[in-house]
Chains A and B, each alone.
Chain A
Amino acid sequence: MEIRLDNVIKTFDTFRAVHGVSLTVESGELIALLGPSGSGKTTILRMVAGLEYADGGHIYFGDQDATDIPVRDRGVGFVFQHYALFPHMTVAENIGFGMSVSKVKRSKAEIAARVNQLLKLVRLEGLGDRFPAQISGGQRQRVALARALSVDPKVLLLDEPFGALDANVRHDLRRWLREIHDELGITTIFVTHDQEEALDLADRVVILKDGKIVQQGTPQEVCRDPKNAFVLKFLGDANRLIGEVRDGQARVAGVAVAAADGVADGPAEIYARPRDLDWSAAGPGVSATVSRVLDRPGERRVIATASTGELLEFDVDPERDITAGDTGFVTLRRAKVFAI
């Protein structure tokens, strides 16, 4: 089902959490709301669920205005960050809860059959009799997902679904959630502050800041063409240099970088990812002194101090022989330029 937010506003006491957000989620799409804490991403998700009411604007489910429909009638599946499993019910009872309280009466056998089907979907066959306290965090989150799916929701909403899990478990669950989504084709919105998670999992990423959408697009679009410095920095490590734009060329310490169209002449910020910088003994480049080298499994991370005072971090191949105290030049392979 298509979900459409039209100029949605939410204010808590005096704090405006969401400033007129408009967003369309296509039917069957998997979308990530990405932003730092306080960006309003969870509030937006909770308004779509009906757990919070919008102070202004409308939320449409398909053609229906769902803005004032209470959560219990809205037909959404919600997965909470800390699972919110009912501790006194077994895994099977948790999954069956939605069906047992539904207005649509189902027989015990029908519910049991559907619960088994869902247990199979989330690969927890045989754990139906356990209590939540008796299974691992990753298993709990899968139970929470099965429970959310049990009511055949029109849309699946996940609030930081993997936030409380170990890195390894997180990685597996991410891939597995994508598989389930592809299998069921249910419209899904999830909230995260982890850019890697959003880029790995989503068809489309919506980046939020201070209750407003800063940019939305496919992972490729937002990575390759960040609209502003905030998006660029939020998506990953970046080095910042101050330069000057003239005639479509940004100059920093004697090095020229092509600026995108529309960057006005004048002072500018130049951002480069650690992979976009390199080290050479001779110029042209920003002259710098290496202050530390960090060895990592796949590369060496060099931290160097530029003659202009900035700290630059970049990755070089593992074989490169660089030590602290070396002087030389940092070369720019690729960079993004934004006017200040």
Chain B
Amino acid sequence: MRRNVLPGLHLSLGITLFYVGLIVVLPLAALVFKAASLGPAEYWSIVSSPRALASYKVTALSALVATLFNLVFGLALAWVLTRYRFPGRRIVDAMVDLPFALPTAVAGISLTALFSNNGWFGSVLSEAGLKVAYTPIGIMIAMCFTSLPFIVRTVQPVLEDLDPALEEAAQSLGGSDWTIFRKVILPLLTPALLAGLSLSFARSLGEFGAIIFIAGNQPMSTEITALLIFIRLEEYDYQAAAAIASVLLLTAFAMLAVTNWLQSRALRYTVKG
């Protein structure tokens, strides 16, 4: 039997399982338990109320747009950071992590100040007829801000490990730049992009602090699901809060399951056999 450096299976498995149970499973179980204490009819009426439905729509749609935007922009940023050496590269690289480090409420307040009608960006944009603050566009921008690092940080290491000889081989075989990107580089980045995408989407679904300041929070139009849960909690309606939260939870689960499946499909080629 192989001897490991760290303590054996029993101890390490025990500690980790206990921890996962305490920190992750228990709160989720309490949430499901609370939601389940409602009858099916009551549960359904809460989660399918017009106000809840409107909040799902704006949350999911904004999260989708923000994630797709970050997919393109994050990939470009990761590409620039790994492929080019320019002055200030390390500073840009460090700045990518700022959305992780910054309290999201601070980000929300700064974004609101920038994009409100008399802010630096907002004043220019409102002249052009585009209103950002207190609209779904504001929500998207806040989501973009908080979830950008996920795509960059998942794609970057894979790009760094990509053998330059692969591109050279494709060139020597006559491939154009676009063909090489599409047929060689992109397929190899797909698993990392999917991982970044699912993390980014899940984070956007649950984001609260950065959004509530810029969203305007009008029920039926710019009220996100996380805020609706918060409102129900403040009304001491724990069951309704749990019910709506369970919808978010299920969505995130489904999303993770689908991307995991896509990822394993995209990684078929690594299976030895």
Residues of A within 8 A of B (CB): 49-51, 70-74, 76-78, 80, 82, 84-89, 97-98, 101-103, 130-134, 147-148, 150-151
Q: Contacting A101 at CB < 8 Å: which of B175, B188, B266, B270?
A: B175
In contact, A151 and B174 (Cβ under 8 angstroms)? yes
In contact, B174 and A101 (Cβ under 8 angstroms)? yes
In contact, B272 and A86 (Cβ under 8 angstroms)? no
Residue-wise interface mask of B (174-214) relative to A, using a CB-CB cutoff of 8 A (1 in contact, 0 not): 11100100011001100000000000000000000000000
Q: Nearest chain B CB to A115's CB is how many angstroms away?
A: 13
Mostly helix, strand, loop or mixed at chain B's interface? helix
Residue-wise interface mask of B (144-169) relative to A, using a CB-CB cutoff of 8 A (1 in contact, 0 not): 00000000000000000001011011
Residues of B within 8 A of A49 (CB): 172
Contacts A84-B163, A84-B165 given; does A72 touch B269 at CB 8 Å: no
In contact, A82 and B269 (Cβ under 8 angstroms)? no
Q: Which of B228-273 contact A (CB under 8 A)?
A: 266, 268-273
Write the chain B residue with the least CB distance to A46: B168
In contact, A84 and B166 (Cβ under 8 angstroms)? yes
Residues of B within 8 A of A133 (CB): 269-272
Q: Nearest chain A CB to B189's CB is how many angstroms away?
A: 10
B170 interfacial by beta-carbon distance below 8 Å: yes
Alpha-carbon distance between A49 and B169 when the two chains are bound, in angstroms: 11
Mostly helix, strand, loop or mixed at chain A's interface? loop
Residues of B within 8 A of A130 (CB): 273
Q: Nearest chain B CB to A52's CB is how many angstroms away?
A: 10
Write the chain B residue with the least CB distance to A87: B269
In contact, A131 and B269 (Cβ under 8 angstroms)? yes
Contacts A88-B188, A133-B271, A134-B273 given; does A82 touch B165 at CB 8 Å: yes
Residues of A within 8 A of B20 (CB): none
Residues of A within 8 A of B184 (CB): 86
Interface centre among B166, B174, B176, B273 (most CB of A within 10 A): B174
Residues of B within 8 A of A (CB): 163, 165-166, 168-176, 179, 183-184, 187-188, 266, 268-273
In contact, A51 and B271 (Cβ under 8 angstroms)? no
Chosen A-B contacts, 13 in total, with CB atoms closer than 8 Å, are A49-B172, A51-B172, A71-B168, A72-B171, A78-B169, A84-B166, A88-B187, A88-B188, A97-B183, A101-B175, A131-B270, A148-B173, A151-B173
Instruction: Taking A85-B169, A101-B175, A131-B270 as given, write out 13 further A-B residue pairs in contact, using a Cβ cutoff of 8 Å, ordered by the A residue number.
Output: A71-B171, A72-B171, A72-B174, A74-B172, A86-B170, A87-B188, A88-B266, A97-B183, A130-B273, A133-B271, A147-B169, A147-B173, A151-B173
Alpha-carbon distance between A71 and B172 when the two chains are bound, in angstroms: 5
Write the chain B residue with the least CB distance to A89: B269
Q: Nearest chain A CB to B158's CB is how many angstroms away?
A: 12
Residues of A within 8 A of B172 (CB): 49-51, 71-72, 74, 76-78, 148
Q: Nearest chain A CB to B184's CB is how many angstroms away?
A: 6
Residues of B within 8 A of A82 (CB): 163, 165
Q: Nearest chain B CB to A78's CB is how many angstroms away?
A: 4
Residues of B within 8 A of A85 (CB): 169
Q: Nearest chain A CB to B166's CB is how many angstroms away?
A: 5
Alpha-carbon distance between A98 and B180 when the two chains are bound, in angstroms: 11
Interface centre among A70, A77, A131 (most CB of B within 10 A): A131
Residues of A within 8 A of B266 (CB): 88
Residues of B within 8 A of A151 (CB): 173-174
Write the chain A residue with the least CB distance to B175: A101
Residues of B within 8 A of A71 (CB): 168, 171-172
Q: Nearest chain B CB to A186's CB is how many angstroms away?
A: 15
Interface centre among A74, A88, A131, A134 (most CB of B within 10 A): A88
Contacts A88-B188, A88-B269 given; does A72 touch B175 at CB 8 Å: yes
Write the chain A residue with the least CB distance to B180: A101
Q: Contacting B165 at CB < 8 Å: which of A72, A80, A101?
A: A80
